Amino acid sequence: MNFCLNKCLKTFIYFCLLFTLLGCSPYERTLRIGAAPWPSFEFAFLANELNYLDKNEYSLFELTSSTSVIQAFQSDRLDVAFLSLDEVLTLVALGVDLKIISVIDNSYGGDALLVKPEIKTLNDLKYRSIGYENRASGALLLNEIFSLTELNNSSVQLQEVKQNEAKSVYLKDDIDALIVREPVKQELLALGARELISSKKLSFPSTNVMIARTKIAKEKELEIAYFLKQFYRSNKFYNENPSKSLSLISERLQLYPHFIEQAFTNTQFIPSKQALMRLSGSPSNIELQMNQLNSLMSEKNMFNPIKIDLSSLISTQILELAIYE
């Protein structure tokens, strides 16, 4: 009798432990949020620095490049991510199920082509090397360069260079030009690089957004909404306490505060209610922009045309909760 009771007790304990372990994954794990370095994305990390977020509920990861963020999101290692709109379409073309839940900012000069000091014009790049991040927004700026000149894939040497590699590649002096993003842009300018063209010249703005896996957006709607609320709270803190904020950001990134401050001037942050307006309507502003990008990127063989209704990628519910609840 005692033997049976002991056996039943052990079985009960085993299943309790198993249930506990299963219960912690994936539904009770922290919300995994990722981004590559970019000025406006810093408000997520600043919120963390200011203790606006419970570290038992939210895990923030700064990855080295946009390509790394794309790969992490694609392989289910991130639940929420910050990416440019063209990078989001790249994920959709790869079959990733996602929702755009907020519009973060526009790049007005934050993405740029920087060259060695001796190079004076875009046409001087003929038969020279250009480094860029192929799966990121750099591809759009490269396309703009080709459209403004007689340069093409055959007349320049294209090399894959991720953002975290740009500074070392420039210092090695084995490449003539680099397409980079803030805040890397400020580092290279300080080293003597010259800017020839930036995202200000793009036919439509380079827009950065926040996305979530569709399943997670449903299961953790309130948690994501709370994170968004703290993200915008962090932006408010920055506007009210710029010196303190720049000090915290520069310490985390190991960059001079004036680099960070200058990087912010090349972006246009979009407040939460304006972001909601850009996601709303039929068609919404973001849907129209996605349709333009889909046509351009498929025409340039960046991916096959996306056939789904792009409006299905947009969700306003989480942002509405962040604003009004």
pLDDT of residue 17: 37
Task: Determine the Cα–Cα distance for residues 133 and 122; give it in Å rounded to an integer.
Answer: 19
Domain 11-15+23-107+206-324 and domain 111-201 have a common topology: yes
pLDDT of residue 28: 66
Task: Determine the Cα–Cα distance for residues 78 and 7; give it in Å rounded to an integer.
Answer: 41
Per CATH, the number for 11-15+23-107+206-324 is: 3.40.190.10
Distance of CA 125 to the CA centre of its chain: 29
Where are the domains positioned within the chain? 11-15+23-107+206-324, 111-201
How does 308-324 read in b/e, with b if 16+ C-beta sit within 10 Å?
eebeebbbbebbebbbe
From the candidate CATH numbers 2.40.37.10, 3.40.190.10, 2.10.260.10, 3.40.50.12280, the one assigned to the domain spanning 111-201: 3.40.190.10
Give the mean pLDDT per block of 10 residues along the chain (325 residues). 45 41 54 97 98 96 94 97 96 96 96 96 95 81 90 93 94 93 96 94 86 97 98 98 97 96 97 98 96 89 89 98 94
Task: Determine the Cα–Cα distance for residues 260 and 293; give it in Å rounded to an integer.
Answer: 29
The structure's pTM equals 0.89
CB-CB contact of 83 with 239 (8 Å): no
> Given the structure tokens 């709370």, which residue do they identify?
226
Q: Collapsing DSSP states into helix, strand and coil, what is residue 180?
A: strand
pLDDT of residue 23: 42
